[in-house]
Chains A and B, each alone.
Chain A
Amino acid sequence: MSNDLRQNNLKAELANPVEPLLPIEKKLIGWSLGLGLVLLAILVILSRLFPVA
């Protein structure tokens, strides 16, 4: 690791105040998770409809 990295080490950064979750981040998390679960359910149904020959 470079000296630059050591000077900007993570320990010091973590001492900074926590950034609150923005509405767009909440949307990203919610939509990703929701869409993921729906798509997985569809894929499970498809895999049951078209089983491995």
Chain B
Amino acid sequence: MTEAALTPAALARPVVTEDWLAVVVGFAIFLLAIASYFGADLIGWVVTTAVWTDASKALAPAAKSYASLGGAGALLTTFVALLAVLSAGALVLGADVKKFAAGFAVAFALSYASWIIGSYASLAVVTPADQAKFGLSWSLKLTNEGGFLIALIVGLVIANAFPRFAEWLKEAIRPELYIKIAIVILGGFIAVTAAGKLNLASSVLLRGLAAIVEAYLIYWSVVYFLARKYFGFSREWAAPLASGISICGVAAAISTGGAIRARPQVAVLVSSLVVVFAVVEVLILPFVAQYFLSGEPLVAAAWLGLAVKTDGAALAAGGIADALIVAKAGAEGVHYQPGWILATTATVKVFIDIFIGIWAFILAYIWTNYIDAAKGGEKAKIGEIWQRFPKFILGFLATFAIALALALHADAQSLPKLSAAIGEANVFRVIFFILTFFSIGVLSNFRKLWEDGLGKLAAVYFVSLFGFVIWVGLVISWLFFAGVKPPLVG
């Protein structure tokens, strides 16, 4: 969701455009990465950041074949490539390309600087062995994914202390676009991770069904009832609010608003609220998960997928929890394969996303045939399911299917090559995650939202989220994932 996307005028535009752009960009990155599996390393120049104490050694290209570029060269190449591709994307979206390019340059610089700072050894190192390696007697143990939180905090500072600067950046502040691209890329990463343990992966998929039931049937009905009965909201406000809190935040609130023909500003305010609460959740819940649920990593993963709203924030929380829990278990001598917690969170979230279109159609049918019938409104058409379907999911499914097919046909010698190829795409996924965190922060101007009268909406959100969403999510995650552990390394 971008600030631009949150204006009533922008909401009238077809939402599919940004979804399809995410599919094109994400899929292109995936295909370029796959090329290296067949012998042509086309994106090995993408910059990666290692945990560091000597800043000159922090950055490097992802592939050794591009080592001559050096860290700074890789960073510059990555920036130029992303600027060119995303500026072309901004043009397709009808954005002001000059403003986008200028804003993106600053957003990228601040986001990536946050990531580099987050990889500083005193912040990131977790295990005693790594502390010894860097000559440290202590560290904050945030893992290098703590850089996500730094990017978020930088964004929050800009939004709340420098609102004019935030306004200047807004054309490039597109967290929904960035996270959708990341999700498309993530499909391939999940497939390669899952290919080695197909039994476990298929079990995780089956248990994703429970997430759909929980989000659409249980959460939605309770939040809607609460908002209508006890907080006195009209139907126009209660339905998008229930979808925002229950399903997957911004996309659900906008789809529901459209389905029941609510005024665009209803979805705008609800979406803003969703983002603010998602920020709070990302800052707190991964650490809660690490503290209380490190013995049940996939319970933690599913719980984050159910409790944290917005795709970006949920996957971000899953990524942080992945790093935190794997590191904590590693320090205790249990070495889980990294990526399973994030993959489970993503699976739960993707399952929930798939049904947005169908749910919007059901609500549209009820509203037009029963609630608005007296007003003579148009009846819902079956095509609205496709219209409201989040198209980026198709990109996710495509990268997942292709990478899974390649992994299942790869022999023992070529599988590491495939993992390395997907790893290059995954570096881009991390960069889009960082941009998402920064963008979510920049959109969260707490004072402005409060002035617009969001206090009572926030009260419903707070009561629903902390009153039952996170607890019911925890119980159901426990029922379905207790005892299911990620595979061990080796």
A positions within 8 Å CB-CB of B? 1-2, 4-6, 8-14, 16, 18-19, 21-22, 24-25, 28-30, 32-33, 35-37, 39-40, 43-44, 46-47, 50, 52-53
- Give complex CA distance A44, B370 in Å: 34
Choice from A5, A14, A29, A30 contacting B452 with Cβ under 8 Å? A5
Q: Which 3 A-B pairs have the closest CB atoms?
A: A36-B217, A10-B453, A32-B221
Interface bits B341-369 vs A (CB < 8 Å: 1, else 0): 00000000000000000000000001000
Choice from B221, B237, B268, B454 contacting A28 with Cβ under 8 Å? B221
CB of B213 within 8 A of CB of A2, answer no
Chain B residues with Cβ below 8 Å from A5 are 8, 265, 268-269, 452
Choice from B221, B371, B480 contacting A43 with Cβ under 8 Å? B480
Identify 10 new A-B residue pairs, CB closer than 8 A, beyond the known A6-B452, A28-B366.
A4-B8, A14-B453, A21-B229, A25-B228, A29-B225, A33-B222, A36-B213, A43-B213, A44-B479, A50-B203
Chain B residues with Cβ below 8 Å from A32 are 216-218, 220-221
Q: Does B405 contact A (CB under 8 A)?
A: no
| A40 and B265 in contact, given A10-B457, A14-B456, A19-B235 (Cβ under 8 angstroms) | no
CB of A22 within 8 A of CB of B371, answer yes
Interface bits B456-488 vs A (CB < 8 Å: 1, else 0): 110000000000000000001001100110000
Chain B residues with Cβ below 8 Å from A35 are 217
- Identity of the chain A residue whose Cβ is nearest the Cβ of B362 in the assembled complex: A28
List 16 A–B pairs whose Cβ atoms lie within 8 Å, in order of A's numbering: A8-B263, A9-B453, A10-B454, A24-B370, A25-B371, A36-B217, A36-B218, A37-B218, A39-B217, A40-B213, A40-B218, A40-B476, A43-B209, A43-B210, A47-B479, A50-B203
Q: Does B377 contact A (CB under 8 A)?
A: no
Choice from A2, A14, A24, A52 contacting B200 with Cβ under 8 Å? A52
CB of B452 within 8 A of CB of A9, answer yes
Q: Does B214 contact A (CB under 8 A)?
A: yes
| A1 and B452 in contact, given A28-B221, A39-B217, A52-B200 (Cβ under 8 angstroms) | yes
